[in-house]
């Protein structure tokens, strides 16, 4: 077939040239007895793989499926291999085709058709891997738009040609030039490295937080340090894969230093403050704190830049780490230390006030949350008021008198009931109103 393509664009000419080459290869296969024998071997290999996979797949599934509830290392390994059982058919077909290829090359000195069949089976395996096995959204996108196109080019025998063309194409950024292939390689390697970094960071963080013998602050610090190391290694490996020498990053690091000195000083200050807080353990997750500006809440999360407080009404407050260093912070929790509260009350002047401390202290001590250590309940005289004698009872508890715990409210009820049971009057204000007649 002769076509006059001189007036057509180069892209069209190349496309027609590849199409003609493909047609010549296909015509040669259709008319060659060796090609027909290879087609027959491909069919036989697939049939044998299908027959064997039907027998092996149920056995493998039963063997690799652990008992419900098992969390041992062996059970985890079995579950991991179980998800790859759907690859059994294409991999068996690929293996049988490889055996047939050796025989075909020995008999006919050619194996192009059967080699093409092997690549088709690998493409099928990649398709099953992306569509049925990979569950992570990022990896599935990576497989769909990178792995499958690469496997398709490999199957058609165009991978080397595409790679050579991409290596010839360059992108210039000032005085720096990159080949398109280097950019694609960097995108692929960067995606995989940082996904692995995220996965390993999650696994490391989970393992560190299970170490109960470490203080919460130490666990947080170890988790942050592991995160920096993991992503630092990923970045260095990526620079090496792309081909950028680390010495060329000196200018970049200098620019970052200038940026930190001017525009990013607050971020750097908050980050360093977070490291100091983790090292000293002044405040960590689970502590109830009150800041100098009146904000208060329980620390529910710590990040590199800030701490997140949850108030008792369910709101979250993001507080920069610097505020915990440069301002006054009251820590009511300190990982389990007790706190003292007091409830004021008064009794009538008709009361024998000498019996009040014993009555109130015994009543308050019955509350299950009130502690006897460091001090038991203590009822103290405060003042002779306008309407009665004023007292206050002090008591210690583990926790904060707010939210779901209402210690002062409970103690108030105990005081009321104790006074009523002992016939002690709780006074209320009395006022004497004098009416004067202006005419007398």
| pLDDT (tens digit per residue) in 170-186 | 777 666 677 777 778 77
Residue 321 pLDDT more than 90?
Answer: no
Nearest to 234 by CA among 183, 285, 194, 269: 194
Q: DSSP string covering 98-132, please?
A: HHHHHHHHHHHS--HHHHHHHHHHHHHHHHHIIII
List beta partners, residue 329.
291
Residue 2 pLDDT more than 60?
Answer: no
Q: What's residue 4's pLDDT?
A: 54
Q: DSSP string covering 354-393, please?
A: GGHHHHHHHHHHTSTTB-SSS---EEEEEEE-SSSEEEEE
Q: What's residue 404's pLDDT?
A: 67
Are 271 and 265 spatial neighbours (Cβ–Cβ below 8 Å)? no
Q: Count how many residues are written for the chain.
A: 440
Instruction: Kindly list the domain boundaries of the chain, sorted by start residue.
Output: 32-157, 178-265, 283-331, 339-421
Q: What's residue 77's pLDDT?
A: 82
What is the architecture of the domain spanning 283-331? Roll (2.30)
Burial class of 336 by CB neighbour count within 10 A (0 to 12, 13 to 18, 19+): exposed
List beta partners, residue 299.
309
- The pTM for the full model equals 0.49
127-153 b/e (C-beta count within 10 Å ≥ 16 → b): bbbbeebbeeeebbebbeebbbebbee
Chain centre distance of CA 322: 25
Which stretch of 76-90, 159-173, 191-205, 248-262 has the lowest confidence by average pLDDT?
Answer: 248-262
Per-residue pLDDT tens digits for 133-142 = 888 787 788 8
Are 426 and 344 spatial neighbours (Cβ–Cβ below 8 Å)? no
Residue 249 pLDDT more than 90?
Answer: no
- 416: pLDDT confidence band, cut at 50, 70 and 90? very high
Provide φ and ψ at 334, rounded to 5°.
Answer: 50, 45
CATH fold group of domain 339-421: Alpha-Beta Plaits (3.30.70)
Q: ∠302-305-310 over CA atoms, to 5°?
A: 40
Question: Of all helices (H) and strands (E), which one includes residue 85?
Answer: none
Are 418 and 363 spatial neighbours (Cβ–Cβ below 8 Å)? yes
Half-sphere exposure of 94 (CA within 13 A, CB side): 15
Q: ∠73-79-82 over CA atoms, to 5°?
A: 145
Q: What's residue 27's pLDDT?
A: 55
Which stretch of 6-15, 308-317, 430-439 has the lowest confidence by average pLDDT?
Answer: 6-15
User: How is residue 228 written in tokens?
Assistant: 């920096």
Q: How far apart are CA 3 and CA 22, in angstroms?
A: 16
More confident residue, 428 or 52: 52
**Count of helices and strands (H, E) across the chain:** 15, 10
Q: How far apart are CA 403 and CA 384, in angstroms?
A: 34
Cis-peptide, bond into residue 217, ω within 30° of zero: no
Q: What's residue 392's pLDDT?
A: 92
Q: What's residue 215's pLDDT?
A: 66
More confident residue, 404 or 19: 404
- 15: pLDDT confidence band, cut at 50, 70 and 90? low
Q: What's residue 218's pLDDT?
A: 66
Average model confidence (pLDDT) for the chain?
A: 77
Q: How far apart are CA 333 and CA 339, in angstroms?
A: 8
Strongest mean pLDDT among 10-14, 27-31, 164-168 = 164-168
Per-residue pLDDT tens digits for 287-311 = 788 888 777 888 888 777 788 888 8
Which stretch of 14-18, 37-41, 369-373 has the lowest confidence by average pLDDT?
Answer: 14-18
Angle between helices 33-64 and 10-31 (to 10 degrees): 90
Q: What's residue 417's pLDDT?
A: 92
Are 31 and 24 spatial neighbours (Cβ–Cβ below 8 Å)? no
């Amino acid at each position: 077939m002769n076509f006059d393509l001189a007036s057509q664009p180069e892209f069209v000419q190349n496309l027609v040239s590849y199409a003609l080459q493909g047609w010549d290869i296909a015509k040669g296969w259709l008319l060659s007895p060796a090609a027909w024998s290879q087609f027959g071997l491909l069919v036989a290999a697939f049939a044998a793989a299908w027959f064997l996979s039907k027998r092996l797949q149920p056995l493998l599934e039963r063997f690799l499926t652990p008992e419900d509830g098992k969390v041992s290392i062996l059970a985890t390994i079995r579950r991991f291999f179980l998800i790859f059982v759907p690859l059994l058919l294409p991999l068996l077909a690929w293996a049988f085709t490889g055996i047939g290829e050796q025989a075909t090359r020995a008999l006919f000195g050619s194996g192009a058709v059967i080699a093409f069949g092997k690549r088709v089976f690998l493409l099928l395996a990649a398709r099953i891997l992306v569509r049925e096995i990979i569950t992570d959204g990022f990896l599935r996108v990576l497989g769909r738009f990178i792995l499958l196109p690469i496997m398709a080019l490999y199957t058609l025998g165009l991978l080397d040609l595409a790679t050579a063309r991409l290596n010839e194409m360059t992108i210039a950024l000032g005085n720096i030039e990159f080949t398109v292939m280097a950019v694609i390689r960097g995108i692929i390697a960067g995606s995989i490295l940082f996904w692995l970094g995220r996965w390993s960071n999650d696994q490391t963080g989970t393992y560190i937080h299970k170490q109960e013998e470490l203080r919460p602050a130490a666990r947080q610090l170890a988790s942050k340090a592991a995160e920096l190391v993991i992503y630092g290694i990923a970045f260095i490996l990526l620079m090496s894969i792309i081909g950028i020498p680390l010495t060329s990053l000196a200018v970049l690091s200098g620019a970052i230093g200038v940026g930190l000195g001017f525009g990013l000083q607050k971020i750097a200050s908050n980050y360093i403050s977070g490291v100091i807080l983790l090292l000293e353990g002044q405040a960590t997750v689970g502590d109830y704190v009150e800041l100098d500006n009146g904000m208060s809440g329980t620390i529910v999360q710590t990040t590199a830049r800030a701490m997140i407080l949850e108030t008792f009404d369910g709101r979250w407050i993001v507080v920069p780490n610097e505020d915990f260093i440069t301002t006054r912070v009251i820590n009511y929790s300190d990982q389990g230390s007790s706190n003292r509260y007091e409830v004021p009350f008064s009794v009538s002047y008709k009361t024998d006030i000498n019996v009040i401390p014993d009555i109130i202290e015994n009543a308050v001590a019955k509350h299950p949350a009130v502690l006897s250590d460091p001090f038991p309940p203590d009822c103290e005289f405060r003042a002779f008021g306008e309407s009665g004698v004023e007292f206050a009872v002090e008591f210690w508890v583990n926790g904060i008198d707010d939210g779901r715990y209402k210690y002062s409210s409970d103690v108030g009820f105990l005081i009321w009931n104790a006074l009523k049971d002992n016939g002690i009057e709780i006074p209320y204000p009395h006022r004497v109103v004098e009416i004067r007649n202006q005419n007398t």
